[in-house]
Amino acid sequence: MSLGADRSYKMKLRDVENAFKYRRIPYPKRSVELIALLAISCTFFLFMHTNKLNSRLKEMEVKLQPSEFSALGLTSNHVSGHDAGKHDDINTLHGTYQYLKSTGQLVDLVPVRLNNTPKAEREFVFFNRIEKTGSQSMTRLINQLGLLNGYETFRNVIQPKRAMTENFEEQREFVHQLTELSEPSVYVEHANWVNFTVHDMPRPIYINLVRHPIEKVISAYYYLRHPKIVGQSVRRNPNKIVQDKTYYDMKFNDCVKQRISPHCVFDAHNRFNGDWRRFALKLCGNAQICEQLNSEATMQMAKMHVEREYSVVGTWEETNITLAVLEAYIPRFFAGATKVYYSQTKKFTVNTTPHDNSLDEEVERYLKDSFKFELELYQFIMQRLYMQYIAINKNQFMDTPI
């Protein structure tokens, strides 16, 4: 039957005109209970595992001690991208290369060890995009590559409001709907990571994008206050409250200092922090611990999913590296990505809202503390991306002293 207007997921094709068909697959009551029990057990096991890991990490004395979650034992205690850039900084491509070389890990670094794409059980990419990371630009690139590489791109209709996480039944319905989509194809939505396997559905190819957490928060602040974006939001949700001019003109630094808007308060106890300004939630999933802000447990769960589930988590902050890794690790969908991107760069640069990124010292300290674990997750993802890139260019790196 057709997907009705009252459905929680209103997925449509690129042009958002023709809703695709799906069917419900009934499950015996006993099977549902067993599956739910299995999901709860798995979540509890992972939570205990991450807690144990956290205790072990705190006992380590060496700054760059390997982490169990890293594909090759790479981790970092740096928390600010503003501190990166030194030649010996582990949070740079050069620093990652030097670390792998000095520890002897470079010899064994091969793409197959960092490639989750072969784990996929269907030609289907699940891009659960994260807001304010350039996901709209990536979606446009994916659309264009679909014409070149022969696959379809599906998107959902943007909803005015949705819950932070979804329960087991909601996830099951979502997964079954996605299974009805044709192959090869890509599905794009602002959604949390979801485990297809626990719902007895074929595993997809997971991808995503991230951005430096502090810059992401600043960007989100000004994005929400841009006249064009405010207008679009009101059209989608006529009941939305429109603030006065003072609200939209206030600088980010002033807003954080005065704490007068929920968009500028990032304390862990503040429920509003469950909104879309952070990316740990999307990578962690729908478990209860994923709702926590600045949580080590949430971060560790997200790290595990990035390493074990995602084929590529890239960033437009490293455009060339991200495109090269996508081409190498998911060639069926991203062959020719670099050439297509640079031939039509303006077409893939959308939703930019120019703003001042400078931060007052006290504001920067507050943000670093509020996003401590988000920043650590970001650096973990960047290091994994660098390792994937080095693995496919190892000979070139070794032949060219840097």
Report yes or no on 314 lying in a domain: yes
Pairing of strands 205-209, 152-156: unpaired
What's residue 275's pLDDT?
A: 55
What's residue 26's pLDDT?
A: 36
Report yes or no on 16 lying in a domain: yes
Tell me the DSSP string of 90-130.
TTSHHHHHHHHHHTT-STT--GGGG--GGG-SSSEEEE---
Report yes or no on 142 lying in a domain: yes
The span from the CA of 189 to the CA of 230, in Å, is: 21
Report yes or no on 173 lying in a domain: yes
Q: pTM of this prediction?
A: 0.77
Residue 160 reports pLDDT greater than 90: no
Residue pLDDT, tens place only, 334-370: 999 999 999 988 888 776 667 788 899 999 999 999 9
Report yes or no on 209 lying in a domain: yes
Question: Among residues of the chain, what percentage have pLDDT more than 90?
Answer: 52
Catalytic residue (one of 190, 226, 263, 355)? 190
Nearest alpha-carbon partner for 312 in 300, 297, 327: 327
What's residue 159's pLDDT?
A: 66
Report yes or no on 253 lying in a domain: no
Q: Is 391 helix (H, G, I), strand (E, B) or coil?
A: helix
What's residue 12's pLDDT?
A: 40
Report yes or no on 330 lying in a domain: yes
Q: Is 347 helix (H, G, I), strand (E, B) or coil?
A: helix
- If one counts every other C-beta atom within 10 angstroms of the C-beta of residue 84, the result is 16
Residue pLDDT, tens place only, 162-195: 788 999 999 999 999 999 999 999 999 999 999 9
Longest dimension (CA), the chain: 63
**Is 176 marked active-site?**
no
Which domain CATH number covers 41?
3.40.50.300
What's residue 267's pLDDT?
A: 81
- The three-point CA angle 342-344-348 to 5° equals 95
Chain centre to alpha carbon of residue 31:
32
Question: For the chain, what is the domain count?
Answer: 1
Range of the domain at 200: 11-61+118-218+270-367
Question: Among residues of the chain, what percentage have pLDDT more than 70?
Answer: 71
The span from the CA of 311 to the CA of 175, in Å, is: 19
Report yes or no on 263 lying in a domain: no
What's residue 244's pLDDT?
A: 79
Nearest alpha-carbon partner for 228 in 248, 251, 213: 248
